[in-house]
Chains A and B, each alone.
Chain A
Amino acid sequence: MNPPRLPFASTRRAWLRQSSAGFGAMALHGLLHAAANPLAQRSPMIEPQAKRVILLFMSGGPSQMDLFDPKSLIQQKHGQSVSAPLPEKDKHESTAKLLALGTDIPVRPRGQSGVTISDLMPHTAAIADELCLMRAVHADNNQHGPAALQFHTGAIAEARPSMGSWVSYGLGTENQNLPAFLTIHPGIDTRNYSSSFLPAAHQGTPIILPAKESDPAIDFLTDAATDSATQRRRFDFIQRMNSRLLAQNETDVRMEGMIHSLETAYRMQTATPDLVDLSKETEATKKLYGIGGKTTDKNGRACLLARRLSEAGVRFVQVTMDGWDHHGDIRGALPKSCAATDLPCAGLIRDLKSRGLLDDTLVVWSGEFGRTPWSQDLSGTAPIEKHGREHQPDSFCTWMAGGGVKGGHMHGDTDEFGYRPVSGKVHLHDLHATILHLLGLNHEKLTWRHLGRDYRLTDVYGEVVREILA
């Protein structure tokens, strides 16, 4: 695909020449000052395996034993009390009975590789040989807020830069019309896509796909009440004021940056609506993602948009899909969550592959934590078949596909309950280190000095999971 067309001139220099204000030579020189552009492309530190990331965040905590990590013990003991090594501090009334909750839909080995996937995800099962399934991922907090924050930033309680912000800071953007980090349908906690102490240019820009085609997908992207001539008039007037001011002064990097930024904004305003317009995709492609399907449409459109943005050179695109927080009646609710996400996610992998993009695009699928092998019953009176599962950060499943990871591979095992990892443990810090590594960034060297200390995405932790590298 061609990069989005620049709205009014092929290069900034050309625009400056045709700008009626007529910048002085000094102002022109200043405008091209690199310091004014924090998103300039930067070289990776080591040989990268992937150029970009699509993160599929399953918000709420998908149940790993029902989807990827079957446990015979809980099948056999279904409805009976188990003696799990659950620390006293983590017990509470609705889970105190520790009743094993079996899985009613089979999880089976798939494809050539035998990666285990539930019947609830037939489309994902069909691409099993592309997936690198980690079954002993773990994190440190059992509540959504802190856990999601740790998933995105590595920290539980503080506001630190998000993964996408670190990637943006490390690599810059390939597409100067767009920020390097876009997040589709993010949840309400803005800390999850915040750049925190990193420059705000690295902040995630949220995109909400509008219910109505006419609504803007990015906040303030357009002024619906105004025609393009008026918008152009405003833009030109501001830039004339700005250039007169700049001409009265010696070089001022900040003012140059503001001029540059206004220019990018104007290009975004013009180029982005095209990019987020999915109507130009073929019917076959739309079908691949489940667009138009009753349950799959929203996530399908989000995944297709993620592909378009990735293709256009956005470094880090996140798609959040919620609805995985199954505290009650998990047998009734889990199939719905799977139905809404299975085809869109698998369609994305297929589409990337057929376009040759999967080789250098890393796709990551994960929740912020998993769920307990024993049941949770909030009412205290429901039959076991109607129980759900409580949060569990001690072990859960994450898969990756594409750029630089082994396809058709499983890594890590959990104990007989599916509660604690026994081998191949991957902490979220390790996951972060590995994602950065695949992009050609050394997680110990990607640092930012803040309050006298060098901060990293992985804090003082994290090891690259070498076993899963292709």
Chain B
Amino acid sequence: MMKIVAFLLIPFAASAAADGDAFFRERVEPILRQRCYECHSHAGKIKGGLVLDSRSGWQSGGESGPALVSGSLEKSLIIKAVHYGTPDLEMPPKAKLPESEIAILEQWVATGAHDPREAVVAVTKKAGIDVEAGRKHWAYQPVREPALPAVRDSSWPLNDVDVFILAKLEGAGVKPNAEADAHTWLRRVTFDLTGLPPTEAEIAAFVTDRSPQSHERVVDRLLESRAYGERWARHWLDLVGYAEQIGTEGKIFAEHAWRYRDYLVDAFQTDKPFDRFIREQIAGDLLPAASPQERRTNLIATGFIVLGDVDINAIDKLKMEYDFVDSQVSKVGTAFLGMTLGCVRCHDHKFDAIGQQDYYALAGMFRSTKTTFKTRHGIWSNVNRVALPELEEDRAVAAKHEQKLADWRKEKEMLEADLTALGDKADDAAKKRREELTAQVKTLELRIAHGEYFNPGKPQAIAVQDAEKPADMRVTIRGNPYALGDTIPRGLVRVAMWGPQPKIPAGQSGRLQLADWIADARNPLTARVAVNRVWQKLFGEGLVRSVDYFGTRGDTPSHPELLDHLALRFMRDGWSQKRLIRTLVLSRTYRLSSGRGAEAASDPENKLLSHMNRQRLDAESIRDAMLVASGRLVAPSGGPGLPLEFPENITGLPIAAKSNHPQFAIKNERESQAFERTLYLPVVRTGTQPGTARLRDVFDFPQPAQFTGKRNETTVPTQSLYLLNADLIRQRGEDLAKALLATQGSDLDRIGRLWLRVLNRPVATAEQEDALAFLQASRAAGEAHAWTELARTLFGTNEFLLRF
């Protein structure tokens, strides 16, 4: 209001109303022309969809809505922008206008924004999104049961999968490869299902098994193993942005994150139905539970929402929270629906029929969910923790822990009493004793502070709850939480809906309704996206190659009927991933050799699956395979990845008056950690990955800030340098050499075993000679050295690094 009074005092105001044309032409238009047209006119650029070279241009406005509301300084974005009062809404961007020009614009708007200019060119404002038209895209169409296609060679298919594949191959006149040999198939299926290589014994059992069920036997054995759960848990973690560190400022630990990781291992190993898996992760806290154990599982599962990257030290908490909501919406979109939703925060999707309305409908649910809290001091927050229902065994652990703490406190008191008893004696013995006692007290203090902070008897999870006052959210202009648009009722993404928006009970976030919609058999995306992810892990590429994006700019399915067939079968089979995988790996298609036949030239990308795609082992498999080959892999573990039980790995305990978080600094590792599966090693967001997990940095482990269903696979010299020179390779080589030397037999016998352990196949004659010569040349430094050299060198070969 003050501003309006101010400009009325400008003498020119009186004549402005009388001669609007002249005022506009003489005073306003030159400013627009000089200051705005470069970016906002048909002659220049049309940034943000806004043109200011005609009346209709500012009336219809750009992506942020009408540029001005005649008569209202408060409602006019153009006035807000020139005042530079709102970050991200500052125009012109390079420099603020002189006050005199701002005054003219204000006067113009306040007096009715008279503008005689007609549109030179028809302004083609994007007329919002067309949801109905958007539904025509294949991925938003309902999943339909396809007919089995006819094939000429009916002896080739082993199951329905093969029928769909063969039909296309025959149609294109491409002959499929022959089957891979037994060693290759066994290595392939063992790595694909468990992330580990077959052992010597497993190889021997399979290649001598003459029964027609030999393949089934292997697959069933692998699906039963804990290693299967571990392998597929890691795949899922790639979609979560999982790490045991919160944010990237400092080294703040996510000490309970492992519970979510172990939840995943259990979920995959026990073949939790995928629809249930969805519900637990999105809305586990809102599901009924029959037992404390089930309640725990449900709560832990919601770690999915909160275990991504969030920067928790921010002055502007509102901005921080909105950013986190954005990453949650993006994650749900990517992981379950193959939708990219992140860009819709600021504008309607450019290619898909997803509007800001859809984004804020979902965002409101996460905004209504408690995911962070501000810490006592300064500008820090932390992610939400939930106390888990205690089980009987927790009480025992708690009691034991309390006892331990009590003992330490008592011990400390006694030591302090001893100190007091020493008085101010100054002889050497007393001095020495005083120093000893002081040091012991200090150690105990740290131990007590540590024990008070980490109480294993009070189990917690990093998980979510509904906020106290769930509410709908307002659109933010260009993602700015201080520049707000319309309120959007919470709801679902319209383009993939089949019925009305759900009713969200008062006092709830709406996540339960979201989970129900995603996990519904009628959702056109969920099952397709899920089976396509599994397909990609087994065949190297998805039937839809853009596994995380099923939108209009993504890839179309190479075998749409097969995709739908599998999606329906998956749901009919109780959303069982194990049954799906069993079908896929027992197909003929999965047995094909990977060398490309001459005929494959007509299909350079192998979209027809005439042969198996080769894959580079991922970081986890490379490290784990070396552990298996050298016989050092320890039994399945689990539990905390960060070794926080060592007080020396924590800084900032006891917590000082004005500080917030203790932090981790890994100085000590558990001895077993060098020999555990890579899955169980801590994942950090900043700095190199700790200990032997370092290998992750070299072999394309995804940054835990990303959600990615398909890892990059790169070939860089750093990897070769690592294989040639890293300590880890030498250590596993030494272990493997020791294991070989402990067995009876000739050099050739050992070479044979070495090949079976590392390359999982018998050694060839030419290789035997080469290996013998290599050993001979390396023997100067002793037998163990020579075998170490040979073993470690084999870890550097392409054949070890690839799965064929």
A115 → B minimal CB distance (Å): 20
Point out which of B688, B718, B797 has the most chain A C-beta atoms below 10 A from its C-beta. Answer: B718
Decide if B719 touches A231 in the complex (CB within 8 Å).
no
Q: Is A189 an interface residue (CB 8 A)?
A: yes
Decide if A254 touches B315 in the complex (CB within 8 Å).
no
Q: Is A238 an interface residue (CB 8 A)?
A: yes
Decide if B309 touches A157 in the complex (CB within 8 Å).
yes
The interface residues of chain B lying within 8 Å CB-to-CB of A189 are 248, 686
State which of B96, B327, B716, B721 has its C-beta within 8 Å of the C-beta of A201: B716
Q: How far is the CA of A265 from the CA of B698 in the complex (A)?
A: 13
User: What's the dominant secondary structure at chain B's contact region?
Assistant: loop
Decide if A235 touches B724 in the complex (CB within 8 Å).
yes
The interface residues of chain A lying within 8 Å CB-to-CB of B313 are 143, 145
Decide if B546 touches A452 in the complex (CB within 8 Å).
yes
Q: Which residues of B (696-719) have their CB < 8 Å from a CB of A?
A: 697-698, 700, 703, 705-706, 712, 714-719
A22 → B minimal CB distance (Å): 12
Known: A90-B315, A199-B714, A423-B94. A262 touches B720 (CB 8 A): yes
Q: Is B679 an interface residue (CB 8 A)?
A: no
Binds A, one of B24-32, B163-171, B547-555: B547-555
Q: Which residues of A (180-231) have their CB < 8 Å from a CB of B?
A: 188-191, 194, 196-197, 199-201, 203, 205, 218-223, 225, 230-231
Binds B, one of A121-129, A240-248, A356-364: A240-248
Interface string of A49-63 (1 = CB under 8 A from B): 000000000000000
The interface residues of chain A lying within 8 Å CB-to-CB of B247 are 145
The interface residues of chain B lying within 8 Å CB-to-CB of A146 are 311
A225 → B minimal CB distance (Å): 8
Decide if B686 touches A188 in the complex (CB within 8 Å).
yes
Interface string of B760-782 (1 = CB under 8 A from A): 00000011001000100110000
Decide if A220 touches B316 in the complex (CB within 8 Å).
no
Q: Which residues of A (125-157) have their CB < 8 Å from a CB of B?
A: 136, 140, 142-146, 149, 156-157
Decide if A223 touches B720 in the complex (CB within 8 Å).
no
Q: Is A424 an interface residue (CB 8 A)?
A: yes
Known: A254-B614, A261-B719, A265-B721. A220 touches B249 (CB 8 A): no
Q: How far is the CA of A259 from the CA of B726 in the complex (A)?
A: 19
Decide if A242 touches B553 in the complex (CB within 8 Å).
no
Q: Is B725 an interface residue (CB 8 A)?
A: yes
Decide if B95 touches A241 in the complex (CB within 8 Å).
no
State which of A87, A223, A260 has its C-beta within 8 Å of the C-beta of B724: A223
The interface residues of chain B lying within 8 Å CB-to-CB of A201 are 714-716
A60 → B minimal CB distance (Å): 13
The interface residues of chain A lying within 8 Å CB-to-CB of B614 are 252, 254
Decide if B770 touches A242 in the complex (CB within 8 Å).
no
Decide if B93 touches A220 in the complex (CB within 8 Å).
no
Q: Is B801 an interface residue (CB 8 A)?
A: yes
Decide if A222 touches B687 in the complex (CB within 8 Å).
no
The interface residues of chain A lying within 8 Å CB-to-CB of B595 are 248-250
State which of A242, A248, A261, A427 has its C-beta within 8 Å of the C-beta of B93: A427
Decide if B712 touches A197 in the complex (CB within 8 Å).
yes
The interface residues of chain A lying within 8 Å CB-to-CB of B770 are 237, 240-241
Interface string of A351-369 (1 = CB under 8 A from B): 0000000000000000000
The interface residues of chain A lying within 8 Å CB-to-CB of B248 are 145, 149, 189, 191
Decide if B797 touches A157 in the complex (CB within 8 Å).
no
Q: Which residues of B (43-81) have their CB < 8 Å from a CB of A?
A: none
Q: Which residues of B (358-387) have their CB < 8 Å from a CB of A?
A: 378-379
Decide if B340 touches A190 in the complex (CB within 8 Å).
no
The interface residues of chain A lying within 8 Å CB-to-CB of B798 are 241-242, 245-246, 255, 258-259
Q: Is A169 an interface residue (CB 8 A)?
A: no
State which of A156, A268, A427 has its C-beta within 8 Å of the C-beta of B717: A268
Q: How far is the CA of A196 from the CA of B551 in the complex (A)?
A: 22
Q: Is A347 an interface residue (CB 8 A)?
A: no
The interface residues of chain A lying within 8 Å CB-to-CB of B616 are 254
The interface residues of chain B lying within 8 Å CB-to-CB of A262 are 717, 720, 724, 796
Q: Is B793 an interface residue (CB 8 A)?
A: yes
A308 → B minimal CB distance (Å): 19
The interface residues of chain A lying within 8 Å CB-to-CB of B799 are 241-242, 245
Known: A220-B722, A234-B789, A452-B549. A143 touches B311 (CB 8 A): yes
Q: How far is the CA of A157 from the CA of B309 in the complex (A)?
A: 8
Known: A254-B616, A422-B95, A423-B94. A265 touches B717 (CB 8 A): yes
Q: Is A294 an interface residue (CB 8 A)?
A: no
Q: Which residues of A (362-405) have their CB < 8 Å from a CB of B?
A: none
The interface residues of chain B lying within 8 Å CB-to-CB of A246 are 798
The interface residues of chain A lying within 8 Å CB-to-CB of B789 are 230, 233-234
Q: Is A421 an interface residue (CB 8 A)?
A: yes
CB nearest neighbor in B for A142:
B315
The interface residues of chain B lying within 8 Å CB-to-CB of A200 are 700, 712, 714, 716
Decide if A269 touches B94 in the complex (CB within 8 Å).
no
Decide if B721 touches A451 in the complex (CB within 8 Å).
no
Decide if B327 touches A157 in the complex (CB within 8 Å).
yes
Q: How far is the CA of A223 from the CA of B88 in the complex (A)?
A: 51
A98 → B minimal CB distance (Å): 15
Count class of interface residues, chain B: 35 or more
Q: Is B596 an interface residue (CB 8 A)?
A: yes
Q: Is A445 an interface residue (CB 8 A)?
A: no
The interface residues of chain A lying within 8 Å CB-to-CB of B314 are 143
Q: Is A158 an interface residue (CB 8 A)?
A: yes
State which of B309, B318, B342, B725 has its C-beta within 8 Å of the C-beta of A222: B725
The interface residues of chain A lying within 8 Å CB-to-CB of B596 are 250
Q: Is B745 an interface residue (CB 8 A)?
A: no
Q: Is A443 an interface residue (CB 8 A)?
A: no
Decide if B95 touches A92 in the complex (CB within 8 Å).
no
The interface residues of chain B lying within 8 Å CB-to-CB of A203 are 716
Known: A159-B703, A220-B726, A452-B549. A421 touches B95 (CB 8 A): yes
Q: Is A257 an interface residue (CB 8 A)?
A: yes
The interface residues of chain A lying within 8 Å CB-to-CB of B96 are 420-422
The interface residues of chain A lying within 8 Å CB-to-CB of B725 are 220-223, 269
Q: How far is the CA of A254 from the CA of B804 in the complex (A)?
A: 12
Q: Is B271 an interface residue (CB 8 A)?
A: no
Q: Which residues of B (553-573) have their CB < 8 Å from a CB of A?
A: 553-554
A20 → B minimal CB distance (Å): 10
Q: How far is the CA of A259 from the CA of B796 in the complex (A)?
A: 11
The interface residues of chain A lying within 8 Å CB-to-CB of B686 are 188-190
Decide if A453 touches B717 in the complex (CB within 8 Å).
no
The interface residues of chain B lying within 8 Å CB-to-CB of A261 are 715-717, 719-720
Q: Is B87 an interface residue (CB 8 A)?
A: yes
State which of B715, B719, B766 has its C-beta within 8 Å of the C-beta of A254: B715
Q: Is A179 an interface residue (CB 8 A)?
A: yes
Point out which of A136, A144, A258 has the most chain B C-beta atoms below 10 A from its C-beta. Answer: A258
Known: A250-B596, A425-B94, A452-B551. A221 touches B714 (CB 8 A): no
B468 → A minimal CB distance (Å): 22
Point out which of B350, B482, B597, B712 has the most chain A C-beta atoms below 10 A from its C-beta. Answer: B712
A53 → B minimal CB distance (Å): 21
Q: Is A264 an interface residue (CB 8 A)?
A: yes
Decide if B716 touches A144 in the complex (CB within 8 Å).
no
CB nearest neighbor in B for A391:
B315
State which of A157, A250, A463 has its C-beta within 8 Å of the C-beta of B323: A157
Decide if B796 touches A238 in the complex (CB within 8 Å).
yes
A232 → B minimal CB distance (Å): 11
Decide if A241 touches B315 in the complex (CB within 8 Å).
no
- The 5 A-B residue pairs with the shortest CB-CB distance, nearest first, are A200-B714, A265-B720, A452-B553, A265-B717, A423-B95
Question: Could you list 19 further interchain pairs (A-B, Cβ under 8 angstroms) beyond the known A189-B686, A233-B777, A255-B798?
Answer: A92-B315, A92-B378, A92-B379, A190-B686, A191-B248, A196-B703, A233-B789, A234-B793, A241-B767, A248-B595, A260-B715, A261-B720, A262-B717, A265-B718, A265-B721, A422-B96, A423-B95, A452-B351, A463-B93
Q: List 16 A-B contacts (CB under 8 A).
A: A36-B715, A157-B327, A190-B688, A191-B705, A200-B714, A220-B726, A231-B724, A241-B797, A254-B614, A255-B802, A262-B717, A265-B717, A266-B724, A425-B93, A451-B340, A453-B343
